[in-house]
A and B are shown apart, each in its own frame.
Chain A
Amino acid sequence: MKPAAFDYVLADSIEMVVRSLADSGGDAKIIAGGQSLVPMLNFRLLRPSILVDINRIPGLAFIEEGDRAIRIGALTRHHQLETSPVIAKHLPVLSAAMTHVAHLAIRNRGTIGGSLSHADPAAELPMMARLLDAELQVASRSGRRTIKARDFFLDALTVDLGDDDILTEIVLPKLPPNTGWGFEEVSRRSGDFALAAVAVTLAVSGGAIAEARIALTGIGATAKRAAEAESLLVGLPLDPKVLEQVIGAVRGNVEPNTDLHASADYRRHLAGVLAGRAVTAAWRRAQPVAP
């Protein structure tokens, strides 16, 4: 349970990171919070020859509110997201999700950029990136580019990042007015990875749903959106019949695995139940507050 030997580079800039990554010829790993990487090093599932530490790069941990979006630096810790007044005001569904991310000692160190880059199939943040239509800004030796969340998560633990790429910033567009949200998760133990989790936003206008988003995690190789279920809701008020159809569509839309913790059937069942609860909560929160 000790890592194999590696050389250590303490980076002081993004430029230094991409240079170190490119020079290593694909044999380097970035270490941010290390909360997923270090267990893999300790188990020797990974044996990089170089670790590039980004923890002391200035200006990489921030939460900034713009006119249309919230910008979050990749090195922002989970606990900062959990307790940010900006996130609580504009993206309360994300504040709610953060309390499900591991335990305080992990949230103190773990970073949003690290979690998204690692892309555990049962983690909350990839689901939240899909839900909130995040744009991910990436730097590499050849320049900077922006990747939409829907194109970023390719497979379990696999994202659209090359050997010399680093995720630098996450841009989360603000939600439309009159948006309600719901978040539901079941895990074996508080803070463990989700057996299944669902996050929902519903924008309501004139008594009907104008925009519906339903994202899931723990139910397949990557977090995903339930597009068919979303489209069933648009243009209608929520009623029990529509909700049943949505639950059915969510169950038909997931391909969970059986593992030690739960069977595929149970996870599919859960996905439907949790989607029903989250959609109902979102609908309730989207109603105008009585004067």
Chain B
Amino acid sequence: MSKTCDIAVTVNGVTHEHTVEPRLLLSDFLRHTLGLTGTHVGCEHGVCGACTVLIDGDSARSCLMFAIQADGCRIETVEGLGTIGKMNALQESFHEHHALQCGFCTPGMLITATDLLKKYPLATDDEIREGLSGNLCRCTGYEHIVAAIRAMVAKTGNTSGGKTG
């Protein structure tokens, strides 16, 4: 076993201090160490998008990062977006548009959509589809997911303009 390290990671506003092995994936840290099983693990090599979380505000695959690298970072998972009793607007939109079937891809879809809405105008369905192309839904319920995001763009008058840098 390699040398362990102490880390402090703020997840959904709560700071957690743990001792971790360097090879512990951030996805496993969230699920197994912290018990936050809302973040799903599909492929573990960055293809399916189910494990996507926000790291310091930017979406990233939690299976392609080690927990030790998140020391001092602010992470948001699907649990931080809302609760069953009080969903956020994007979750409400997914609910209204039937944008989930089995629900496995949903946490990654919600986090990805959160970042897309912040960074791109999403003026057309093509743009929304392109933005979602890194997230796989094996129920193939893409139509409803696109509709839920389109409704968010219409509702909020998304003006992010696609430029962040």
- Asked if A and B are interacting partners, one says yes
- Interface code B54-73, partner A: CB below 8 Å = 1, 0 otherwise? 01001111011110110000
Which chain B residue has the least Cβ–Cβ distance from A80? B165
Asked if A263 is at the interface of the complex by the 8 Å CB criterion, the answer is no
Q: In the complex where A39-B45, A39-B64, A109-B65 touch, is A7 in contact with B3 (Cβ < 8 A)?
A: yes
Do B133 and A5 touch across chains, with their CB atoms under 8 A apart? no
* Count of CB-CB pairs between chains A and B under 8 Å: 106
Do A7 and B22 touch across chains, with their CB atoms under 8 A apart? yes
Interface size on B, residues (CB 8 A): 39
Asked if A146 is at the interface of the complex by the 8 Å CB criterion, the answer is no
Most B CB contacts (10 A, CB to CB) among A85, A105, A106 go to: A105
Do A191 and B134 touch across chains, with their CB atoms under 8 A apart? yes
- Interface code A38-53, partner B: CB below 8 Å = 1, 0 otherwise? 1101110000000101
In-complex Cβ contact of A38 among B3, B64, B119, B130 (8 A): B64
Do A8 and B49 touch across chains, with their CB atoms under 8 A apart? no
Q: In the complex where A38-B46, A42-B63, A108-B58 touch, is A51 in contact with B134 (Cβ < 8 A)?
A: no
In-complex Cβ contact of B61 among A7, A82, A105, A190 (8 A): A105
Asked if A1 is at the interface of the complex by the 8 Å CB criterion, the answer is yes
In angstroms, Cα B59 to Cα A3, docked, is 22
Chain A residues with Cβ below 8 Å from B1 are: 5
Most B CB contacts (10 A, CB to CB) among A8, A104, A191 go to: A104
In angstroms, Cα B131 to Cα A277, docked, is 25
Chain B residues with Cβ below 8 Å from A84 are: 165
Q: In the complex where A6-B2, A35-B64, A39-B45 touch, is A105 in contact with B115 (Cβ < 8 A)?
A: yes
Most A CB contacts (10 A, CB to CB) among B23, B55, B64 go to: B64
Do B64 and A34 touch across chains, with their CB atoms under 8 A apart? yes
In-complex Cβ contact of B49 among A3, A31, A79, A105 (8 A): A105
Asked if A117 is at the interface of the complex by the 8 Å CB criterion, the answer is no
What's the nearest-Cβ distance from chain A to residue B51, in Å?
A: 10
Q: B residues within 8 Å of A by Cβ? A: 1-3, 5, 21-23, 25, 28, 44-46, 49, 52, 55, 58-61, 63-66, 68-69, 112, 115-116, 119, 129-131, 133-135, 162-165
Q: A residues within 8 Å of B by Cβ? A: 1-8, 31, 34-35, 38-39, 41-43, 51, 53, 55, 79-80, 82-85, 102-106, 108-109, 189-191
List 12 additional A-B contacts (Cβ < 8 Å) besides A108-B60, A190-B130: A2-B28, A3-B25, A7-B3, A7-B22, A34-B66, A38-B65, A42-B45, A53-B69, A79-B165, A105-B49, A105-B112, A109-B58
Q: Which 6 residue pairs are nearest across A and B when measured between Cβ atoms?
A: A103-B134, A83-B165, A8-B22, A39-B45, A190-B133, A1-B44
